[in-house]
Amino acid sequence: MTRYNEIWHEIKQKLEENFDDVVFEEIFEPVDDVFKVSNSYIYLIAPNDFIKKRIEMLYLNKLNRYLEQYFEKLHKFKIITKEKATEELANQKEFSVNEPENNQDRYIKGNINTSYTFDSFVVGNSNRLAYTSAIKVADQPGIVANPLYIFGDVGLGKTHLMQCIGNYILEGNINAKVLYVKTDQFVEEYVKLAHKNKFEEFNRKYRDVDVLLVDDIQFLAKKEKSQLEFFKLFEILHGEGKQIVITSDRSASDLKDVMSRLTSRFEWGVTVDINRPDLDHRIKILEKKLLAETSDSDLIPTSVIEYIASVFDNNVRELEGALKRVLFYCTAFNLNFTVKNAEQALKNLIKPRINNNHLRENQVKNIMSLVSDYYRISTSDLISKKRKAKYVFPRQIAMYLIKTLYGLPYQKIGSFFNDRDHSTVMHSVQKITNEIEMDYNVKKDVEKLTTKCGQN
């Protein structure tokens, strides 16, 4: 704690040097020692709500920037009022100002990324439902949606959103026991401890929690013993009303090789999916990421942002990587941020995409998402084995488009739709070909979709 206090007082000194006396005396002077440190937030007490708001609105970014010199890992200040701090102390009898990181050590450190907050998560059509559900869960853990099951392709923000929930809950209550675990880590620990007969240790870690965040549950596939253990854990926590959040790269019903007893439990709660962001959404994400990287949001012109957003349409992680690369490249070589320079910076990333299957896969995914949007079904239903007409017809349209636009072999197309065989795809393409001739509406639909595919 003393270290944090020292840092705060050093920063305070700098503020005194940099700010007008009147401002300093009114705003910063009354802020004394650090109240507590939790979840990488350093809590300072403002004497009243007015000063708290002034700091938050006008000075917090600056204060946080000072912190960067002191810590490798991101730390931020959080301002609370004296009233709130007193209340918190009164409510937590065992709370010790000298040991603020006890809980953090056990549950948080190196575990939850504190920059994954609802604030930094950009909302658009592709993730709105997931986002609102996550907020509800964070507000009322264990009550509104248990478990919350979030699924979607890689790099679309599942981990980010899941950790928002954890960060939000911890912000409200530093003593909440939030445990984030990657599924492969869960399996590994189980195997290791089961081997040594140390179940107690294992149970202590996993059962003594308020909120359990389990990332990438698909990795439980084929791990029967771990599945059983997870099932037990799930039953216990769920029974106690503890919030469970799960992410996966596929819907619960598509989790092959995970016992159905478990996957049917996932459907007790709320299931939401995250899809690929559209162009506008990608631009917004880039703008947000840029703001996090630099204080000057006008550093990169809109044309360059739009260029990056139009090329990297597959997932947010790639999008973010592309932005960082452009930033790095232009800064390192002292170049202006122009589309041409951005192209240059990204050429190694873009070229392989055009040359290999990757782009093809992107194009296929693009068609899938356009078709599912068009028919208002989810992409996972589109590629699922469900046989309701409302899924079958769009699925056949998607296969038809992939065949006619990209000429992939039938078998290859089948592999994108849950490993359907060559003859199913062929039949679908044939059927749509006939329908286009017979049915004016189908013809129009296909034309519209073809244009859309060309635009993307």
If one asks whether residue 166 binds ligand ADP (CB under 6 A), the answer comes out as no
Among 164, 205, 208, smallest CA distance to 185 is for 205
Instruction: Report the C-alpha gap between 208 and 103 in whole angstroms.
Output: 12
Does residue 121 bind ligand ADP (CB under 6 A)?
Answer: yes
Residue of 7, 27, 31, 122 that binds ligand ADP (CB under 6 A): 122
165 is an interface residue for ligand ADP by CB under 6 A: no
Binding of residue 291 to ligand ADP (CB under 6 A): no
Residue 42 binds ligand ADP (CB under 6 A) = no
Residue 80, contacted partner among Mg ion, ligand ADP, none, CB below 5-8 A by kind: none
Residue 402 class from Cβ within 10 Å (0-12 exposed, 13-18 middle, 19+ buried)? buried
Among the listed residues 127, 133, 248, 314, the single contact to ligand ADP using CB under 6 A: 127
Footprint of Mg ion (CB under 5 A) = 158-159
Task: Give the strand order in the sheet containing 211-215.
Answer: 178-182, 211-215, 243-248, 148-152, 270-274
Judge residue 240's burial from the number of C-beta atoms within 10 Å of its C-beta, 0-12 exposed, 13-18 middle, 19 or more buried: exposed
Smallest gap from residue 114 Cβ to ligand ADP (A): 12
CB 169, min distance to ligand ADP, A: 18
* CA distance linking residue 14 with residue 67, whole number of Å: 12
Which CB, 163 or 226, lies closer to Mg ion?
163
Stretch that binds ligand ADP, among 206-214, 219-227, 315-323, 345-353 (CB under 6 A): 315-323
Q: Which one, 158 or 282, has the nearer CB to Mg ion?
A: 158
Structure token pair of residue 393: 């017809």
Q: Does the protein bind ligand ADP through residue 148 (CB under 6 A)?
A: no
Tell me the closest approach of the beta carbon of residue 407 to ligand ADP, in angstroms. Answer: 31
Provide the CA 415 distance to its chain's centre, in angstroms: 27
Residue 316 interacts with which of Mg ion, ligand ADP, none, CB < 5 to 8 Å by class: ligand ADP
- For residue 285, the partner it binds in Mg ion, ligand ADP, none, with Cβ less than 5 to 8 A by kind, is ligand ADP
Rounded Cα gap, residues 348 and 344, in angstroms: 8
Quickly tell me which residue has 């401002």 as its tokens: 23
Q: What is d(CA 75, CA 62) in angstroms, rounded to the nearest whole number?
A: 13
Residue 246 sits in the site that holds ligand ADP (CB under 6 A): no
Interface with ligand ADP includes 74 (CB under 6 A)? no
| Among residues 84, 205, 317, 422, the one that binds ligand ADP under rule CB under 6 A | 317
Cis-peptide, bond into residue 147, ω within 30° of zero: yes
For residue 82, the partner it binds in ligand ADP, Mg ion, none, with Cβ less than 5 to 8 A by kind, is: none
Closest residue by Cα to residue 329 from 320, 316, 341: 341
Task: By CB under 6 A, name the one of 15, 46, 179, 285 that touches ligand ADP.
Answer: 285
CB nearer ligand ADP, residue 158 or residue 242: 158
Q: Is 309 in the site for ligand ADP (CB under 6 A)?
A: no
Q: Which does 34 bind (CB under 5 to 8 A by kind): ligand ADP, Mg ion, none?
A: none
CA gap 131, 219 in Å, rounded: 24
Which residues, listed in sequence order, are joined to residue 43 by a DSSP beta bridge?
A: 36, 78
C-beta nearest to Mg ion: residue: 159
Q: Which is nearer to Mg ion, 104 or 159 (CB)?
A: 159
Q: Which of 226, 204, 214, 144 is nearest to 181 (CA)?
A: 214
With CB under 5 to 8 Å by kind, the binding choice for 154 among ligand ADP, Mg ion, none is ligand ADP
Task: Determine, following the binding rule CB under 6 A, whether residue 147 of this chain makes contact with ligand ADP.
Answer: no
Residue 151 interacting with ligand ADP (CB under 6 A): no
The interface region with ligand ADP, picked from 98-106, 158-166, 383-391, 403-411 by CB under 6 A, is 158-166
Q: Compute how many residues bind ligand ADP; rule: CB under 6 A.
A: 17
CB of 53 to Mg ion, least distance (A): 35
Tokens of 8: 């705060």
Min separation Cβ 166 and Mg ion, Å: 14
Quick check: 159 binds ligand ADP (CB under 6 A)? yes
Site for ligand ADP in 249-278 (CB under 6 A): none
User: Which is nearer to ligand ADP, 120 or 404 (by Cβ)?
Assistant: 120
Length of the chain equals 456
**Shortest Cβ 93–Mg ion spacing (Å):** 38
Residues binding ligand ADP (CB under 6 A): 120-122, 127, 152, 154-160, 285, 288, 316-317, 320
